Structure formats: structure tokens, C-alpha cells
Amino acid sequence: MPAAPKFDFPPRPLRWLFLDLNSYFASVEQQLDPNLRGKPLIVAPVGSDTTVAIAASVEAKRYGISTGTPVWEAKRLCRELLIAPARHDQYVVFHNAIIEEIWRHIPVTHVCSIDEVACRLLDNENAPDQAIALARRIKAGILANVGECLTASVGIAPNRLLAKLASDIEKPDGLVVLDAAELPQRLYDMKLRDICGIGANMEKRLARDGINDIRQYCERRPRDAGSAWGGVNGDRLWYALHGVDLPDKPTQTRSIGHSHVLSPNKRGLEPVRLTARRLALKAASRLRRKSYVTRLLVLHVRFEADKTVWQCSRKLAATQDSFQVLAALDALFPRLAEEGKRRHGSLRVRMVGVTLNELVSVNGEQGSLFAHLDPDDPLARETRGLALSKAMDRLNEKFGRHAVSLGPFHGGRIDRVGTKIAFGRIPDLDEFHE
């Protein structure tokens, strides 16, 4: 085996503190209901054995239950298992309280997910003893001021990736420091899949190039490791695993969308259409709140029979008007009905989603140039439609979700389309009013 390449690295002090809440959804449920504390618990989206756990308590994990375990299997693994329905709005409330508590001790640099936070350490707080003391104060503050069930594992390292890996080493309630002097050797017992960004496909790609573990990756030269990874700046991971704190690559919002798995008795054309309209309205409301306009609407479905995904799209004039979005969506449904009939003789859809693409930021607003046009002029109608859409946003925020809406969503014809925590995205509390 070749010796690891020798490089003169720049100074690599401890720069990042990464906090990962343990069994977050389940811990919130245990905090809200003392009867659930200390007991094996899973959080599930609906009360059905055919769904999967979206979170498992520390006690449930001791039985081999984890996120993604089917509910029927979790019940088999633990006869005393308790099941709590997901309450996503509460998870956002507790998340906000946790962020506020962390800010009492150190500025929050990145909110990475609903249960993960990264904080950059300054020169006066990154000595090992100082960083460890800071981590302990944050953990104690969360327990005292947010909830005694909300434990966290903390990792401290020279860069954010390594701090994340360190937080995974000891769970629950761990605290691990990865110092530059022990890198990358201390990572060699980990699996490639433990590194964020390495999934099954990347693991296979690296294996084809003779890389089967972290040691083999790190023993390559940076350029060779980058070539095995592929893509632009493929050597970034090599430097990160050696403790170099690289600047973040800029990102931007590229799309806004929602999807929904339909109940078995609501998979025909009309329930699908009504559900898609609700999803489009939620997306349009988010679009306005984030000050974007969209130029492309995409409707995508997964058919029940063969589980294939089909999609179609419609161009838009740059807009954030709910009426324009719904008009574009309605124009796509004849194509969906035709496709369902062609494939299966009738339309049966398991999942439907609506995505707004080609987003452009709205740089300031001004009064409409078309306010005094004839009321039936298309530009005047769009101006009124956007004003009405914004008024509906304000009413729903003040009086609750569905206070006002466009089109029907009651009477048993449509599934309840609620706001959920998406992986890597935390809904604003406003979304629970949409």
C-alpha cells in the first residue's frame, strides 16, 4: 500500500462546532407528552402499518428501529412500541427555540436542517478547552431553557464537514473533537457512506477506481482523488478530510414545489386535479414570500400501476400570481388524462407534485403601470390577480390555513395537504397557514 502523500498544510485550527439533535422529532413528542418519556416511540406520518417511521426515539433504536423502518416491522421488533402522529408545526416551534438558545452562546452560521446547526468558532473561543466548554454550555442551555428531553451530539473540528462527522461518532448526547494532528487517520474506521455526499452511486464510482474506504481515498494525491470523485472541484473532499477549511460554494434557490401521496380512494382525475391545485397555491404563496417570480410550471405524477414518473410543463410570463399559476396548471390536465388513458386505460395516480422553476428574484416593487387600463385588459387582470393573491396570504396568516382559498378543497374530494418537514428544508411557520 503506498504511503500517504506529504503536504505542507496551512494552519488548521478548530473552526466549527456542529450540533445534531438526537432523535429530534421523537424527542419533541416526548417533551410534549411526559407519558412518552423513557419509552420506545416512533413518529409516523399517518396511522397505518403500511407507512414508515420518520423518527425513532433513543429507546426505540435499541430494538433496531430507525428512520425508514416500516411501522409493521417496528411493531414486530418491539411489542411495547408507541406511535405518535407527526406534528410538523411543533417541530418548527422547537427548532426556532433551539436556534434562539444557541444564539445566546454563539452566532449561528448555518442552519443545516431541522435538527442540525453549524457555528463558526472565532480565535478567542477555538482552543480545545474553550470549544468544549462552549459546547457543554449550549447543550445545558437547551436542556434547561427548551426541553429536558432535547439532547444533542456535538462535533468540533477544523471544517464543517469534519465537525458533522465528529457529531456522528458518539450518540446520543456525545461531544467529540477532531484535531488536525489526528487527521485523516482518525477517520479510517468510518465508512465512505458516512460522508455527506457519498451515496450508493458515488460509492460504486469510487470502487471502480479502486477506492473502497476513506484510507484509500486519502492516500491518493489530491488530483487523483478528485478525478475518482469526478466533476468540477472534485478534490475538495480530499482537502476537507485533511482538515482544510475551504470556502463554501455559492448556492441559490432554483425551484419551489410540493408533492403529495394520495389516499387510495382519491387517485382519479378530479381528486388529483384538486390536490395539485392546493399544492400549486402553496408553492405560489412561498414564491411571493421569498420575493421570486417563476417562468415555468412543472406537473409531475407517479402512476399507481407501474410507479413510473411522468411530467409535463408550461411556460409562464414571469409571475407570482396564483391565478396565472392555476391557469397554467389547468391547461396541463388534459395531457395527464390522455397519458393515463394511453398507459392504463384510466387514470390512477399515486403521487402528484407541482414545481415552480426558472425563478428570478424580485428586486424591489413599484406601482403598477396598468392600474388604469380597461378592467378586462389581460395586464389589468394580472395586476388585480397578484393583489388578490397577496391579500389572501395576509388573511390566511391572520385567520389560519384555508381561511380563504381558490377553488374547492372540502367535501371529501381532496386529501388534506399539510406542510411537512422536507429533508434539508425547514418550513417557515407561515407555511402552516397556507
| Residues identified as active-site | 116
C-alpha to C-alpha distances, 193 to 177, 201, 241, nearest whole angstrom: 21, 10, 14
CA angle (189 as vertex; 132, 70 as ends), nearest 5: 90
Q: H-type helices in 183-321, by residue range?
A: 200-208, 214-218, 222-229, 236-241, 269-289
Task: Determine if residue 225 is left, alpha or beta; phi over 0 gives left, psi from -120 to 50 gives alpha, anything else beta.
Answer: alpha
Four-point Cα dihedral 95, 97, 100, 101, nearest 10? -110
Answer positive or negative: Cα dihedral of 205, 208, 212, 213. Answer: negative
Judged on CB neighbours under 10 Å (0-12, 13-18, 19+), 74 is: buried
Q: H-type helices in 87-221, by residue range?
A: 88-103, 128-145, 160-167, 200-208, 214-218
Instruction: Tell me the longest C-alpha to C-alpha distance in the chain.
Output: 79
Alpha-carbon gap, residue 262 to 267, rounded angstroms: 6
Contact assessment for residue 299 and residue 269, using Cβ atoms and an 8 Å cutoff: no
Alpha-carbon gap, residue 81 to 298, rounded angstroms: 41
φ, ψ (nearest 5 deg) of residue 156? -125, 130
Identify residue 76 by its one-letter amino acid code: R
Tell me the chain's radius of gyration from C-alpha atoms. 25
Identify residue 243 by its one-letter amino acid code: G
Please, which contacts does 250-254 make with residues 24 or more away whose CB atoms are closer than 8 Å? 253/290, 253/292, 253/359, 254/357, 254/359
Judged on CB neighbours under 10 Å (0-12, 13-18, 19+), 35 is: exposed
